[in-house]
Amino acid sequence: MNTPTTLAQKLVARAAGRSHVEPGEIVMCTVDLAMSHDSSGPRRIAPMLKELGATIRHPDRYVLVTDHYVPAVDEESRAIVQFTRDWVKKTGLRNFHDNEGICHVVLPEKGYVRPGMFIVGGDSHSPTGGAFGAYMLGVGATEMLGVLVTGQIWLKVPETILIEWTGTFAAGVSSKDVMLFLCGRFGMNGGQYQAVEFTGDAIAALSLQERMTLSNMTTEFGGQVGLIAPDDVVFDHLRGCGVAVDDLPRWRTDEGAALRTHHRFAAEALTPQVAAPHSPANAANAGAYQGQAIDIAYIGACTGAKLDDMRMAARVLRGHKVAKGVTLMLAPASAKDQAQAAAEGTLQALTDAGAELLPNACGACAGYGRRFEDDARVISTTARNFKGRMGSPTSRVWLASPYTVAASALTGSITDPREHLA
């Protein structure tokens, strides 16, 4: 009889060419895909490859995206982006997506991320791929160098922290609220650098982009990966990308598999959350910050400006104008999502409300482009609000869902969005 195993164990075992792995084992995994962006990619990797006299072992398994320094606004950023583009031409890299949006959104849009894959990304929010049933984790430049040269990486098999949400989330509550609640409840080391898996009826009911936010912010929760077992939501998306899905695994955690921890929560009990400066762990019910005046409402980043995120904001803002004295910034996460938002009227609703349209890039979340000025009071859909990350160290950033950010823009102060839903 086979020993019950977790989804994480199955994914790692496949990558290691093993029938079974146990938590705590150190195994060598074959990498199916590697991803870098303009900040983590050629400008860091190319000099090391040159010094070693090495080349990329599997260039067809390497994807490069420009998203941190585009559009270039100064000499430094222009040099970084130009170096990236020149290196792509020199090496003949085929999988290059230039100025199309944020890497964590572009990769799924293009059908790169599929169930069963083992993927590494040169960005801390690479666990986004776990929403597709892929084992995807972030690595630094030296680890990425090893992956590109050898095609492999070692991994200590993690234990699994299972987080189950039963029931149904209320209107005005999103996956961003789930992650802020978890960070507030357990802290930014709640994931203990293990595999975090999300499950339950409430999770199964989420859209794919909402699941991506959960997996993405597993980083803020301190997990290595944020997994969700693949289902028809994932496979329908892949079919839409032209991917053949018949042979892709539908693995899930076996009943009775050994877990590090199993947390259970009732979805109906969750309310909109807000995290105060300067940590996602400073989260509480939105009512705790009700009335805090804001100057800027920022809808952007891979956790807050995908198509579904923009739709949430539009539900609040459609037919209204933002409060006097409030600047509403909108940086759609990808060109594709922006085009769809435009086609269906979502973008128009946001710009009619007063949103200033910014480029499809990481933008303020990465501390680039429109940085927040001294003493600015900001409510943002980004994943992080660390001091000085997005501008002046005297600026203060509260984190919230697109619903809450939009409602706060409408009133001029932090506001529970539920009374403003259209």
323-378 pLDDT tens trace: 999 999 999 999 999 999 999 999 999 999 999 999 999 999 988 888 899 999 99
Q: Which residues of the chain have pLDDT under 50?
A: none
The predicted pLDDT at position 2 comes to 83
Nearest-10 crossing angle of helices 307-317, 208-216: 110
CA–CA distance, 284 with 45 (Å, rounded to integer): 41
Of 210, 215, 240, 235, which Cα lies nearest the Cα of 225?
215
Q: Indicate if 273-420 has the same CATH topology as 7-265.
A: yes
7-265 fold: Aconitase; domain 3 (3.30.499)
Tally Cβ neighbours within 10 Å of residue 255: 6
CB within 8 Å of 343: residues ≥ 6 apart: none
* C-alpha to C-alpha distance for 170 and 268, rounded to whole angstroms: 6
Place of tokens 């009990």: 269
CA separation for the pair 69, 229 (Å, rounded)? 34
**What pLDDT is stored for residue 367 in this prediction?**
86
Q: What's the half-sphere exposure (Cβ side, CA atoms, 13 Å) at 176? A: 32
Domain 273-420 fold is Aconitase; domain 3 (3.30.499)
Looking at the DSSP bridge assignments, the partners of residue 80 are: none
Q: Where does 110-251 have alpha helices with state H?
A: 141-150, 175-186, 201-204, 208-216, 232-240
Relative orientation angle of helices 402-411 and 307-317, to the nearest 10 degrees: 30
Q: Where are the domains of the chain?
A: 7-265, 273-420
Q: Assign residue 327 a region: left if phi > 0, alpha if psi is -120 to 50, beta otherwise?
A: beta
The pair of three-digit structure tokens given for residue 43, joined into one six-digit string: 């400008």
Kind of pairing, strands 273-275 and 283-285?
A: antiparallel
Residue 369 confidence (pLDDT): 80
- Average pLDDT, whole number, for the chain? 97
pTM for the model stands at 0.97
**pLDDT tens for residues 62-112?**
999 999 999 998 999 999 999 999 999 999 999 999 999 999 999 999 999
**Cis amide linkage into residue 58, ω under 30° from 0:** no
Nearest to 323 by CA among 416, 415, 413, 397: 413
Q: Which DSSP symbol is given to 397?
A: E
Residue with tokens 């809808």, as numbered in its chain: 299
Note the pLDDT of residue 370. Answer: 80
CA dihedral sign, ordered 400, 401, 404, 408: positive
Exposure string for 42-67, b = 16+ CB within 10 A, e = fewer = bbbbbebbeeeeeebebeebbbbbbb
* Residue of 288, 328, 338 whose CA lies nearest to 101: 338
